[in-house]
Amino acid sequence: MGLPILKSEDLSKRARRRIRRNILQAFLEACKTNGANKAIITDGDGRKFTYADLRQAAFALSSPLRKRTKPNENIGILLPTGAGAVIALLSIHTAGRTPAMLNFTAGIKNLKAAAQTAKLKTVITARKFVELANLSELMTEMSEFIDIVYLEDLREELGLRGKLKAVFAPYLPFLFTPKSTPDDTAIILFTSGTEGNPKGVILTHANLLANIEQIEQHVKLKDTDIFFNPLPTFHCYGLTAGTLWPIFSGYPVVLHPSPLQTKTIATRIQKTGSTVLFATDTFLQQYMRASADGGLNSLRIAVCGAERVREETRKTAEKRFSFEVLEGYGVTECSPVLAANQPGDIRAGTIGKMLPGIESRLEPVKGLENAGRLWVRGPNIMKGYISSDNPGQIIPLAEGWHDTGDIVSVDLEGYYVIRGRMKRFAKIGGEMVSLTVVENCASAVWPDQMHACAIAPDPKRGEQIILVTDHPNPKREDLLRWAQTHGVPEISVPKKIVSVEALPILGTGKIDYVSVTDVAKEGIKAKS
């Protein structure tokens, strides 16, 4: 397109070699390198799983899966973060099928659309999970269009063949595993579906393994680090960074089934001595509030993605618990991590530098200076989309470039700043105003509360910004006074503020902006 291309540092020769494998090969090699008897997962109930446990379960359950499904078939996984989800994923690969991660909080409409888009005939879940999460009604609705298979039943269907395979396959894995190539589809994930039916994101084996190698090269850790991941595996951040990275790289990981169990998570982090936490800014704030002073002192690093990290979050982490907060950035289509701050090199307000091996370019946006729409290309970028219009048919990217839809700026040293989603700019009187800037202002004035902005039509100026906050008594004059003393134009101060008891949050930890918009509109109606 004739735009300057920015290049990050090169991916190492070792990393480039290691991405030319498939997921199953990467797991089996990690098992061999780190020792089959090493405890690698601590599950939500405290049970520990060794590499050997995962390997045996994967080979065993692949036998009944082969009987139930056809070669290369896509199989859905509807499970919380935990050993069960990891075993299901590895079992599906071992059976020569492709896993599709399903968001059990998405509702029946989106789940049905996802199943149709990926041409799913079978979904794996667990009776214990369905019972604990009160999903019986959802399972009844799903069973009308898809075959529900329970992990407990697969274990009962093992038979002699499955048991023998579980015993002998670890010694001769090449005889029992499919020959997937690095460029074959490794997993299917889905976009949120907030603007129509969810799209399927096709990630290859090489995509996922490349992102793990990129993160490993970019963020240096200690051999003694223990990961803690409460983020959902149906979200790429929780899957790749929070689950596959530690398992494939030999770091013990504590998995937790829900990021919403605030007090329990704070307690488990302390009990397990975890040192690296995966979270969002919203969840991290909640965990710190739920923990007594010193309760999270085992942490060295909290890696936050999916939303902007507030300065107040960094200060609280450092002052109360003495750990660093690394802000990262990624999108599902990029496996997902694109950029991140690094330990000892945190530039507050930035997402750090691009990971190794990534090219980027900024497409100019009318009305914005010194920023542009971010396009990226690299070994971690998806193979393409599948949509409900043409189920199962992959729509590839043009020349490998992906449009993130985010507006960013980059300084001379290569540090990137997210200015906001293209869809999160209001056009007021001909000027583009970032909703992120408005939210930042609100956070500066009321640091202990959460804030989100929505756009509504304005008969005089085209659009107007509405601030939704959980502050019990927000006053616009406080925002205006802060803006005037900090050089923020008055156009960035919302004229209307709606106070709510709590902001709506998605299962991924992001603010639910669709619901925020609805709340804002209802709030305005109530005031008028």
Q: How many helices (H) and strands (E) does the chain have?
A: 19, 27
For residues 303 and 241, is the Cβ–Cβ distance under 8 A?
Answer: yes
Q: Residue 1 has what pLDDT?
A: 46
Mean pLDDT (the chain) is: 90
Same domain, 156 and 271: yes
3-state helix, strand, coil in the chain (%, to 5): 40, 25, 40
Task: Output the domain CATH number for residue 250.
Answer: 3.40.50.12780
Q: What sign results for the dihedral spanned by CA atoms 518, 519, 523, 524?
A: negative
**Residue 413 CA to chain centroid, in angstroms?**
27
Please tell me the predicted confidence (pLDDT) of residue 516.
86
Residue ranges for the chain with pLDDT beneath 70: 1-2, 162, 192-196, 367, 421-424, 427, 429-431, 461, 507-509, 526-528
The pLDDT assigned to 283 comes to: 92
Do both 82 and 177 map to the same domain? yes
Tell me the pLDDT tens digit for each residue of 148-184. Answer: 999 999 988 877 776 777 777 777 777 777 889 999 9
Number of domains in the chain: 2
Please list, in sequence order, all residues whose beta carbon lies within 8 angstroms of the beta carbon of residue 299, skipping any fewer than 6 positions away.
269, 274, 275, 276, 277, 321, 323
Domain co-membership, 450 together with 389: no
Judgement on whether residues 295 and 384 belong to the same structural domain of the protein: yes
d(CA 328, CA 280) in angstroms, rounded, equals 10
What's the CA angle centered on 242, arms 236 and 245, to 5 degrees? 95
Q: C-alpha distances in angstroms, 243 versus 60, 89, 183, 389, 402?
A: 21, 11, 21, 32, 25
Residue 424 lies in a domain: no
Specify whether 266 is located in the same domain as 192: yes
Same domain for 405 and 494, yes or no, is no
- Residues 292 and 173 grouped into a single domain: yes
Q: Are residues 402 and 261 in the same domain?
A: yes
Q: What domain range includes position 457? A: 429-527
* pLDDT value of residue 440: 82
User: Which of the 8 DSSP states describes residue 3?
Assistant: P
Where is 111: in which H helix or E strand? helix 108-117
Q: pLDDT tens for residues 396-414?
A: 999 999 999 888 999 989 9
Give yes or no for a cis peptide into 4 (omega within 30° of 0).
Answer: no
